[in-house]
Amino acid sequence: PSVGLIGAPFCKGQPRGGVEGGPDLIRGARLVERLQAGGCAVKDYGNLQFEEFADDEPVGVVKNAKAVGSANQRLSEAVHAIKKDGHTSVMLGGDHSLAIGSIHGHAAAVGELSVVWVDAHADINTPMTTETGNLHGQPMSFLLRELRSKTPTLPNFSWIKPCVSAKNLVYIGLRDVDPAEHFILKLLGVKAFSMTEVDQLGISRVMEQTCDYLCDKVQKPIHLSYDVDAVDPSVTPATGTPVIGGLTYREGLYVTEYLCQTGRLSAVDMVEVNPLRGQTEQEVQSTVGTAVDLLLGCFGRQREGNHAPDYQLP
Ligand code: ARG
Ligand code: MN
Ligand code: MN
Ligand code: MN
């Protein structure tokens, strides 16, 4: 399994500075070396550079539309190229508005895909329902075919073609969902395992049911979009919108191990790591270390241990 790594140091989908430091911080925690030590070939495509817009006026309440639209167009092309090169794409954010480009580029390369969205938040507000105006709370609304008529075209968003069907989306970890988002989830019948279902079923049955739901009929590639705030803030405090009552470290890791063994993980996002939101160096290290462990889980690291297929006892 080869990994194509792309850094997206972008923060304009939300108001807090610092999240653009995510990619280099995660690399600094030796992600590449540790993937390689686990037997993974890695090609690092480096960090994207994004255009700045002096005239990025709010559209209604929606902030930084031009910057977000343009950054995601670049990211979409980059992920498309990584997939065409034959890699599993790993996008390091940056804020979660980047899922627009990552998922769009993935779908452009492989066609129909399944999306597993692991997050405290549903990030499915439309520009008409958002209460904050932050585009990191809205990415899924631009990607779902069923919401096409509900999302006005923002400046620099006209390249986006909705490419995900509601039936191919599963949420895990929800616990802070706006009323309009809850309405949309029910209207579209989106499969969602909130923290209540995690409590009820346990994470193993949540993953079993996630894959039964997505995995039958056609074997579509899986896009895992992992917001580090899905995990409890006692473990991943350095993030912009922490919410109490999240996945434990072990539950968060189990999600990645389970998806890995499906053999269908085709792209992964790791977003919302924000070093400036940690109160102490220890809080930042715990958040970054967890992000790296989650990515290692996606690419075959097992808690039981691993060894190379050609291992020889000395
Ligand atoms: N629902 C809120 C909003 O629309 C919070 C979104 C948080 N999103 C995130 N990617 N952390 O702004
Ligand atoms: Mn193509
Ligand atoms: Mn979130
Ligand atoms: Mn999110």
pLDDT at 59: 98
Clarify whether 96 is annotated catalytic: yes
pLDDT at 215: 80
pLDDT at 218: 80
Q: 125 CB less than 6 Å from ligand 1?
A: yes
Q: 130 CB less than 6 Å from ligand 1?
A: yes
What interface predicted TM-score (ipTM) does this complex get? 0.94
CA of 83 relative to ligand 2 center, distance in Å: 9
pLDDT in tens, 141-160: 999 999 999 999 999 999 99
Q: 225 CB less than 6 Å from ligand 1?
A: no
CA of 213 relative to ligand 3 center, distance in Å: 23
Q: 121 CB less than 6 Å from ligand 1?
A: yes
Least confident of 9-13, 117-121, 211-215, 269-273: 211-215
pLDDT in tens, 26-46: 999 999 999 999 999 999 999
DSSP the chain: -EEEEEEE---TTSS-TTGGGHHHHHHHTTHHHHHHHTT-EEEEEEE------TT---BTTB--HHHHHHHHHHHHHHHHHHHHTTPEEEEEES-GGGHHHHHHHHHHHH-S-EEEEESSS-----TTT-SS--GGG-HHHHHBGGGGGGSPPPTT-TT----B-GGGEEEEEE----HHHHHHHHHHT-EEEEHHHHHHH-HHHHHHHHHHHHHSSS-PPEEEEEEGGGB-TTT---SSS--SS-B-HHHHHHHHHHHHTTT-EEEEEEE---GGG-SSHHHHHHHHHHHHHHHHHHTT--TT----TT----
Which of the residues 56, 146, 197, 227 is marked catalytic? 227
Q: Which ligand is nearest to the CA of 14?
A: 1
Ligand 1 atom 4 nearest Cα? 137
Q: Which atom of ligand 1 is nearest to the CA of 241?
A: 11
pLDDT range class, residue 167, cuts 50, 70, 90: very high
Residues 232/248, Cβ–Cβ less than 8 Å: yes
